Amino acid sequence: MNQMDVKREKFTLTTPLYYVNALPHIGSAYTTMAADASARFQRLQGKSVRLVTGTDEHGQKIQRTAQEAGRSPQEYCDEIATGFDRLWQKLDIQYDRFIRTTDPRHEILVKEFFQRVWDAGDIYLGRQTGWYCVSCEEFKDERELLEEHYCPIHPNKQTEWRDEENYFFRLSKYQSQLEDLYAQHPEFIQPEMRRNEVLNFVKQGLQDFSISRVNLDWGFPVPGDPSHTLYVWFDALLGYITALVEPGEEPNLENAAQWLPFDLHLIGKDILRFHVVYWPAMLMSAQLPLPKCVFGHGFLTKDGQKMGKSLGNTLDPYQLADRYGADAVRYYFLKEIEFGRDGDFNHTRFINTLNADLANDLGNLLNRSLNMSRKYCNGKLPNIAAEDIADSNPLKQMGQQVGEKVKKAYQQLGYSEACQAILELVRTGNKYIDEQEPWTLYKQKQQAAVEEILYAVLESVRVAAYLLSPVVPQLSTKIYQQLGWAVNFEDQAAIGEKAPYSVHSRWGILPANQPIEKPQPVFRRLEE
């Protein structure tokens, strides 16, 4: 950690570590875009952020997929992991750490963790029987299975009967500690509706779960008993911790601890149980601090069905990003779907939303008002100070409140709510300029009124661009630059100092009388 980091408040967040059985689909991209928006928001707050993402590479599912492709598992993982990184570049994801669970450094940390849990008396040898879904890498309760033992999450995959000797983790020992955690920290499981599901599940009584497999060699051997392979989920969750160790440092729990606890684990609702039941119990056993919040978002559907690799009804995120650009894809998913709920992708809606919000409402407003400013204000920004604009001005009024409102929304992962509040300001700007008709006032030589109107509109566009920057950083940078600010929202290391939220989210900082270049459209209209 460098000197500057020591002083700043920290924020550590994660995406799931994605299985590498196939290239990422839009579901994995969704979580990652949301996590990136939150990380960017936290950086604007001046925090020192660790956004962890990566790949989960062990286990039967990966081993089988590699075999079917006629490849060695490692070779297969290497290729797919690169594919994930390639997509994150296309989607403008600024992660701080990319952890691959096949990293040899990870094995060292896993061994240390296993030893701690072992020393706590929480691991024992037992017998596991039951139905196993290889796609979930999880034993299923017979009651939750579909007919003929098909998995409810992967309805085209039959579960497999297992009867084997496994090592178990003593989850049952943590029943009351977990219940205390949920009671004392209701914010730990979010959103609220997911919390109730978990409470009901836990109330039925927790059972120990197996953390090793036999007849599988793609994974780390169980320390002290190499005839067993560590269960993929046990090793995967620990990947979050290994990711926190600085690249040059020894991979051990102490070196990771400086970034603990996790402020936020962002996941999909299907893997909630692992994160809010198994994971905190494992951390309790190893005497490590518990995450502050786990947020289980909804599923993206296409024609009402869950999109997923196993069902083969996915939407290609590479193509979307190549064709429409990162900002467009990020904006659609974060604005159009209420985070936490399921959301459907619809191509027409995608095009319409982007054209309406970003090309028309925001982009055109900037373009029109900059052109007017050049024409009516001698090629410069309006010559007026924000203090000289009446408090009753509708844009000033709204602009002075939007920063706080959006901050609260981002803090609660209400990306859609944040975007809507920002767009409301932009729409008010459009209405205001149409009603005020600065072009008529200019003809009437009411110069002071013209400058006031244009200032109010341009400053509102600036605030909107700033507040939208966690979602559409490239667009925000372009808008800022056209308004004469040398601020680049991609500047991960310095953005919190160059454009702190406490200053830039406030309406009224646009400098007066600055020369402006000929404006260029900032967001190209999309075609079907």
Distance of CA 453 to the CA centre of its chain: 37
∠ CA 130-133-137, rounded to 5°: 105
How near is the Cβ of 365 to ligand MSP at its closest, in Å? 33
How near is the Cβ of 511 to ligand MSP at its closest, in Å? 43
How near is the Cβ of 239 to ligand MSP at its closest, in Å? 6
**Closer Cβ to ligand MSP, 28 or 477, answer by number:** 28
How near is the Cβ of 28 to ligand MSP at its closest, in Å? 5
**Closer Cβ to ligand MSP, 268 or 429, answer by number:** 268
How near is the Cβ of 242 to ligand MSP at its closest, in Å? 11
**Closer Cβ to ligand MSP, 201 or 400, answer by number:** 201
Runs of H (alpha helix) within 437-511: 438-443, 447-468, 473-482, 495-498, 501-504
- Contact assessment for residue 269 and residue 296, using Cβ atoms and an 8 Å cutoff: yes
**Closer Cβ to ligand MSP, 291 or 473, answer by number:** 291
How near is the Cβ of 254 to ligand MSP at its closest, in Å? 21
Assigned token pair, 366: 């900037």
Q: What is the DSSP letter of 276?
A: I
Rounded distance between C-alpha atoms, residue 91 and residue 323, angstroms: 12
**Closer Cβ to ligand MSP, 231 or 324, answer by number:** 231
Preceding amide of 191 cis, omega within 30: yes
The residue written with tokens 């609220």 in the block is 192
Applying CB under 6 A, which residues contact ligand MSP? 16-19, 27-28, 30-31, 56, 236-237, 239, 267-268, 270-271, 299-300, 306-308
Runs of H (alpha helix) within 272-414: 272-273, 279-285, 317-324, 326-336, 347-354, 365-376, 394-411
Distance of CA 456 to the CA centre of its chain: 33
**Closer Cβ to ligand MSP, 117 or 237, answer by number:** 237
How near is the Cβ of 294 to ligand MSP at its closest, in Å? 11
**Closer Cβ to ligand MSP, 283 or 307, answer by number:** 307
How near is the Cβ of 154 to ligand MSP at its closest, in Å? 10
Rounded distance between C-alpha atoms, residue 173 and residue 169, angstroms: 9
* Exposure b/e, 43-55, CB count within 10 A at least 16 = b: bbbbbbbbbbbbb
Phi then psi for residue 131, to 5 deg, are -90, 130
**Closer Cβ to ligand MSP, 268 or 470, answer by number:** 268
How near is the Cβ of 276 to ligand MSP at its closest, in Å? 12
**Closer Cβ to ligand MSP, 333 or 466, answer by number:** 333
How near is the Cβ of 299 to ligand MSP at its closest, in Å? 4
- Positive or negative, the Cα torsion across 478, 483, 489, 491? positive
- How many CB atoms within 10 Å of residue 526? 17
Residue nearest to ligand MSP (CB): 268
**Closer Cβ to ligand MSP, 237 or 326, answer by number:** 237
- Contact assessment for residue 332 and residue 353, using Cβ atoms and an 8 Å cutoff: yes
How near is the Cβ of 83 to ligand MSP at its closest, in Å? 13
**Closer Cβ to ligand MSP, 340 or 470, answer by number:** 340
How near is the Cβ of 518 to ligand MSP at its closest, in Å? 43
**Polymer length of the chain:** 528
Q: Residue 385 in 3-state DSSP?
A: coil
For the chain, what is the radius of gyration of the CA atoms? 26
Residue 506 burial (CB < 10 Å; 0-12/13-18/19+)? middle
Q: Which of 128, 115, 21, 136 is nearest to 73 (CA)?
A: 21
- Contact assessment for residue 376 and residue 438, using Cβ atoms and an 8 Å cutoff: yes
How near is the Cβ of 136 to ligand MSP at its closest, in Å? 8
Q: What is the DSSP letter of 126?
A: E
**Closer Cβ to ligand MSP, 270 or 417, answer by number:** 270
Q: What is the DSSP string of 33-72?
A: HHHHHHHHHHHHTT-EEEEEEEEE--SHHHHHHHHHTTS-
Q: What is the DSSP string of 193-212?
A: HHHHHHHHHHHT----EE-E
**Closer Cβ to ligand MSP, 32 or 285, answer by number:** 32
